[in-house]
Chains A and B, each alone.
Chain A
């Protein structure tokens, strides 16, 4: 292993900090996946490359968390068009409108703090 190889999570965060949601693609089997790893979970090849997503996807599952101390907020799983899935949130629309099948696009990256990762957040695809 070469010394200059980047730690997967560090490279992922570097791309988030630059405004991009990254995934990895396997050069051997073509599998695309998220979260960042040193090897492909489909074929175990180490020939995995980072790519930036176009940021377009579809809500695969959704919930709205209710709490006594703050307004309800949504939590979704988004299937990105490139073929990987992440947890996220959809902003800019009422929680009730955040339904499975909703087309979404990346709104931006919320900076991380206190050891919490930067967060790629979505908005409805048709929003401007």
Chain B
């Protein structure tokens, strides 16, 4: 079997326009800014890029649009749009394309100005015809349905959900780039505005502007670049449903399978992971993903993550940037999940840096717990 370990590396990462974008900037402006910064981080220029990857709620031909804007004439292009997970899936696609000799240097980028534009999620997703008449609030009601089932089946409590948000905030307080850094208590979460029971506004990800970009290339090419390479050790993709009414068991996501694939490819297991970066669009996500990725047994995610266990100083560092709940969430978030996994693995996170990180896991989520992608990253000691 073709072995991934040590073949591909992430060599540049950057964000731009986090929180509120500069006045008058378009989503493509912030995307371009993040792209240029990520290239500078890598010590590469736009001219080195021959593969472009993007997805967007604003631009249907996102990678084509981004290439035009930056003056790139790529030989590989990919606008795969499978929800918020898209950018981490682009990484897996880039691995395939680089291995096949179709390109050398991939730029993966995303940006949005949804906060400035409307203050709410900008989406092209059409309601599902068989769900539309009942007017679930997309997407929060779908995650609420999952939370209701998880609480019913496993006794997960309202307080345990709130604790996820509180701990994400504790991480955000260590991250100067985070959008929400004020104190937050369990009571604050529970008593904030009810959106779709049991989830309140503080169980929901932020609505911010922002852009992120990631540069990936072969390990050979990575050797001479500016940053210590962060190697891809494992990748795994899975999806089992698109719509919540078609999800077989609301308490189990396809992250079970994407995770197993990534662990198998990396030859690692949950015990080998030093930091865990999860797509926390809602508090229930963190609980379910910790279970599905094997950090605890199914149903035990609530108690497992309670009492500060995933906060700074806890037993497992989870979402060390503050997550989509407190750091930023410009509509689609997986690029930022990946950026934090890279930074922790490089060891450049300052006050929030976990000691001696060798391996980080990143979990991307798209749709309504639909498309799942797991990436396992390692520093030079792991290859």
Residue ranges of A at the interface with B (Cβ–Cβ < 8 Å): 9, 34-35, 60-67, 73, 75, 77, 85-89, 100-101, 110, 112, 116-119
Segment among B37-45, B104-112, B194-202, B206-214 that sits at the interface with chain A? B194-202
Complex CA distance for A67 and B194, rounded to whole angstroms: 9
B contact residues, total (Cβ < 8 Å): 26
B134 and A119 within 8 A (CB): yes
From B132, B149, B152, B195, contact of A66 by CB (8 A): B195
A-B contacts counted at CB < 8 A amount to 76
Interface centre among A61, A62, A85, A88, by most chain B C-beta atoms within 10 angstroms, is A61
Interface string of B126-165 (1 = CB under 8 A from A): 0001111111110001001110110010000000000000
Q: In the complex, what residues of A have CB within 8 A of residue B382's CB?
A: none
Chain B: CB-nearest residue to A70: B135
Interface string of B167-202 (1 = CB under 8 A from A): 000000000000000000000000001111110000
Closest approach, in angstroms, between the C-beta of A93 and any C-beta of chain B? 15
Q: In the complex, what residues of A have CB within 8 A of residue B196's CB?
A: 63-66, 75
Q: Can you add 15 more A-B contacts, CB < 8 Å, to A65-B196, A86-B130, A112-B133? A: A60-B250, A61-B146, A61-B152, A61-B250, A62-B148, A63-B144, A65-B136, A65-B137, A67-B137, A77-B245, A85-B246, A87-B134, A87-B244, A89-B134, A101-B152
B145 and A118 within 8 A (CB): no
Which residues of chain B from 290 to 348 have a CB within 8 Å of any chain A CB? none
Interface string of B230-257 (1 = CB under 8 A from A): 0000000000000011100010000000
A61 and B133 within 8 A (CB): no
Q: In the complex, what residues of A have CB within 8 A of residue B129's CB?
A: 9, 35, 116-117
B136 and A87 within 8 A (CB): yes
B145 and A117 within 8 A (CB): no
Chain A: CB-nearest residue to B145: A61
If A63-B145, A65-B141, A100-B152 touch, does A86 touch B133 (CB 8 Å cutoff)?
no
Interface centre among A34, A62, A87, A101, by most chain B C-beta atoms within 10 angstroms, is A87
Q: In the complex, what residues of A have CB within 8 A of residue B148's CB?
A: 61-63, 100
Chain B: CB-nearest residue to A33: B246
B133 and A66 within 8 A (CB): no
Complex CA distance for A60 and B195, rounded to whole angstroms: 20
23 A-B pairs with CB atoms under 8 Å apart are A35-B130, A60-B149, A61-B149, A63-B141, A63-B144, A65-B137, A65-B141, A66-B194, A66-B197, A67-B137, A75-B135, A75-B196, A85-B246, A87-B131, A87-B134, A89-B134, A100-B152, A110-B133, A116-B129, A116-B132, A116-B133, A117-B130, A119-B134
Chain B: CB-nearest residue to A35: B130
